[in-house]
Amino acid sequence: MSAKVHRAILLAILAFAGTALAVPRENNIPGEASSDFLPAYMTPEEEGLRHLIGVDHRWTPPPTQPVRCPGEFEPLDGVLIRWYTFSVTIDLIDEIQEETTCYIIVDNASQQSYAESYLTGVGIPLDNIQFIIGPTNSIWIRDYGPWFIWDGDGGYGIVDLIYNRPRPLDDLIPQVIGDAWDIPVYEPTLVHAGGNFMVDGIGTGMSSELIYEENPGLTPAEIDSVIEYYLGCEQFLVLPRMYGEYTGHIDIWAKILNDHTVMVGEYPPGNPNYQRLNDNAATIASTQNLNGEYYDVVRIPMPPDPPPNDYPTYLNSLFVNSKVLVPVGYDVAYDDSAMTIYENALPDRDIIGIDCAAMIGWGGAVHCITMQVPSRSPVTIDLVPDATVFATGDTLGFTAHLVNQTPEVQTFYARTEALVPGVGSYPLMGPMRVTLSPGQVVDRYIAHEIPGNAPLGEYEYIATIGVPPDEVWCEDSFTFDVIAE
């Protein structure tokens, strides 16, 4: 056992010696035997343990420059989630494993065995599930988990920020994952929870002013410098936090949908946060990304006013490749409206609601208990169709978004095919040789005429990139319907 892990365990024992009776226990939930449950916010007992925040942190130099932090909407190799026998967690695991690898963090081998039996018992296959053994204090992996980056040498790395809670085992998880996956871990001296950070993938990051409050020893310029050199954000937008909401995190009221679009919550007139979120939306809309494009802002109504300090939200969602998992269960009419807004904003994604009503009052929802693992492919591809329904004789159009994640020239081959109803696979394009310069991002528009005699029904368009004959780097697809003219 390393000295760092040993210290963290001792600190965890100290931190929770006085809190065990003050919070509800996870093992009150049938079948679960784990640590004490802790909400996203700091408990009264933890308020007296603030001196433990970051106590085991050890500064390391930043990665080789330049650094790129992928956006959450980009292709994923997996999603991290901490095991917890609760309906929301189980629903998320099921949805995630259908799309990509679900990495489940468990305390020990015994809990892994229990989790495997539980998942099998409820009909969830284990083929796309992997377990990571690492003791934790809480479920809020978004706030304490690893931020994955690409460094200037083309290496894949982890940035480990100081978790803003006195929960030493949680704060160790980035290093646990770095050790397990043999990935370098970079540790800036910055207190910053992951729920208060989002990026557009091309050099802009956004947070609430909580980052200033939690780092009183640093100037805004010094914080900007840390964010740039460790997380690759040449532009860092810091916005006022919501009134009354206890986490102060930006993922309660905003979501970056792609490199030029941001969704922002909206309250009705008379609500204390009506003007605050309108002002924040206006600030974002008046900001240009590093490609020189002004951000498009999509507004989404926040759920009706809850009891004090609950603040349910639809923005606390998770991208999982072709899916977006959206917290719902607050109000039927509001839920339906939110799903429609997501569907209109992201027509190429499958929008799926996750009932989070039972999490109201915990301080978070879907986004807060998950952390994305970006694709390690040197080049990624993302397909964005113009529509999802086309008539015979129409033009099927879409944008292929290619990103070279490395500082090296990448040469590869791309091919596309369609799965045609009643026919099967039908080759369309390629293989075509493509070369991207270091860090290059390309948006290529592609159009196909749909024949007048094309079979009607649901199609799937698939694009694959890699190096023949059998090395696949990345793949993306979308479905669309063909109807009679």
DSSP state of 55: T
Measure the CA–CA gap between 368 and 362, rounded to whole angstroms: 10
Q: Which residues are within 8 A (CB) of 177 and not within 5 positions of it... i.e. 6 or more apart?
A: 80, 132, 134, 145, 146, 158, 183
Angstrom CA distances, 17 to 4, 7, 21, 73, 347, stand at 20, 15, 9, 40, 50
Residue that is written with structure tokens 């003050």 in the block: 22
User: Are the C-beta atoms of residues 435 and 391 closer than 8 Å to each other?
Assistant: no
Report helix, strand and coil shares of the chain as percent, to nearest 5: 25, 35, 40
102 is catalytic: no
| Cβ neighbours for 1, distance < 8 A, ≥ 6 positions apart | none
CB neighbours (10 Å) of residue 353?
20
Q: What is the DSSP string of 163-214?
A: PSSS-HHHHHHHHHHHHHHT--EE--S-B--GGG-EE-SSSEEEEETHHHHT
What is the Cα–Cα distance from 250 to 238, expressed in whole angstroms? 10
- Which secondary-structure segment (H or E) carries 144? helix 141-144
Report how far apart, in Å, the C-alpha atoms of 255 and of each of 72, 73, 191, 233, 248 are. Answer: 10, 10, 21, 17, 15
Which strand (E) or helix (H) includes residue 112?
helix 109-121
Q: Which residue has the tokens 């204090």?
A: 137
Contact 169, 135 (CB under 8 A): yes
Q: How many CB atoms lie within 10 A of CB 291?
A: 13
Rounded to an integer, what distance in angstroms lies between the CA atom of residue 400 and that of residue 410? 17
| Chain centroid, CA 213 distance in Å | 24
Catalytic residue among 233, 356, 368, 474: 368
410-420/379-385 β-pairing: unpaired
Catalytic residues: 368
